[in-house]
Amino acid sequence: MDSHETNWRGAATLLLGTLVWVTLPAPGSVSAQDKYPSKPITIIEGFGAGSGSDAAARLQGGAMSRTLGVPVVVRNAPGAGGRNAVTLLSRAKPDGYTTAMINVPGQVVEQVIRGLPPDLREFTWIGRQVSQRYFLQASAKSPWTSLKQMKEAKEPIRFGATGTGGNMFPITVIAADIVGLPLRFIFGFKPPELITGIIRGDFEITAMPLFTAWYSAVEKGEARAIAIFGPGRHPLWPNLPAGDEVGFPELSQPTLVGQNLYALPPRTPAAIANKLEQALAEVGRDQQVVKKIEADGNLVRPLNGKEAAALVGEMIQLVEKNRTLLEKYVKK
C-alpha cells in the first residue's frame, strides 16, 4: 500500500468520524424528544376530587389525551389553598410528564406576601383554558341590596370566608378595598358551609365562584346577588351586573378573576413545552368539552403560554400593589 492510499484512507476515516459526530442529537434537542410522549402524563390539581377545578382538569385532560395519544390523568393534591400543586410541580422532573393547574392570584399571594418558594416566574407556562368569575352575595336576611348602600354601613359587615388561601380571598379583599366596604371577616367555613351560612344568616355577605350550585340560593330567593367581579357580565347569568355598571369600574379589571393556568417545571425543553401547549390549545376547539366545562359556570377563555406567563406577571403586580392591605390578614 503506497503512502497516497494510506493518506486517503486516513482522511476518509477522519471525515466519517466527523460526520457521525455532527449528526448525533444534542441532549434536550427536538430529535432527542421525537418519541415524546411515550407514557401517561399527570396533571396535578391542587383541590379535592369533585371541586370545580377538578372537574375542569379531568375534562381538559381527556381532550389532551386524544391529541397526544397517551393517557392524561389527574392527580388531586388538595391542601394549603392549592399550594401543594405548586410544591409538587417544582420538585418534578422537567421531562414533560408532569404538569399542574396553578390557581392565581391565590398562589401569587403565597409567593409575594408569605415569601414562599418557588418564584412562579420560573415555571414554564403553557397556557390557560379556564377562568373563574366570583360574585358578591348577601343574605336575604340582611338589609344589603347594593354596594353603595353597603359602603355607607355604620358598623363592619360580617363576611363569611373559608380562609386566606385560594383565589377568592385576595380578589375579595382587593374588591372590598376598591369599594370601601367596612368588613369583618369570619374565617373557618368550608365551601359548602358558605351556602348554608348565607341562607341561615350566619354572616351578612360572602363571595363565591359563579357555579350553578353556588348561585342556586339567589335563584331560590334565599340570597341576593350584589355584583360580579371582572370584565363584563357572565354569559350564564347575564342579569348579574358588573362593577362598572354599579358605579365601581375598577371592579371590572381582568385581574379580579380566578385563573387556572397550566405550568411545567422550570427548564422543561422547548420542544416538549410546545407540544403540550398545542395539545392544551386543542381543548378550546372541542365544542363538546367546552359545553361541559361551561355548564357549571367555568368559562373557557384560552391563552397561550406566553400570554399565561404575562398574566402571572400582572397578578404579581396586583398583589404587590395591595401588599399592605393583604398583609393585614395573611400571616407570614
Domain ranges of the chain: 40-131+258-326, 134-255
**Per-residue model confidence (pLDDT) at position 153:** 96
Q: What's the confidence (pLDDT) of residue 12?
A: 41
pLDDT in tens, 187-217: 999 888 999 999 999 999 999 999 888 899 9
Q: Sign (positive/negative) of CA torsion 139, 140, 141, 144?
A: positive
Buried/exposed code over 39-53 (b: 16+ C-beta within 10 A; e: otherwise): eebbbbbbbeeebbb
Q: What pLDDT, on a 0 to 100 scale, did the predictor assign at position 332?
A: 74
The pLDDT assigned to 32 comes to 47
CA distance 216 to 67: 36
- pLDDT (0 to 100) of residue 82: 93
- Return d(Cα 136, Cα 244) in angstroms, integer: 14
Is residue 111 within 8 Å of 121, Cβ to Cβ? no
Q: How far apart are CA 32 and CA 26, in angstroms?
A: 7
DSSP state of 152: T
| Burial state string for 253-290 with b = 16 or more CB within 10 A and e = fewer than 16 | bebbbbbbbbbbbeebbebbbebbbebbbbbbebeebb
CATH code of domain 134-255 = 3.40.190.10
Residues 6+ apart with CB under 8 A from 203: 139, 158, 159, 160, 186, 197
Let me know if the fold of 40-131+258-326 is the same as that of 134-255: yes
Element (H, E) at 39: none
Low-confidence stretches of the chain (pLDDT beneath 50): 2-30, 32
pTM of the model: 0.87
Within 8 A by CB and 6+ apart from 195, the residues are 208, 213, 214, 216, 217
What's the pLDDT score for residue 5?
44
Question: How far apart are the C-alpha atoms of 122 and 102, rounded to whole Å?
Answer: 13
CATH architecture observed for domain 40-131+258-326: 3-Layer(aba) Sandwich (3.40)
- Residue 33: what pLDDT? 52
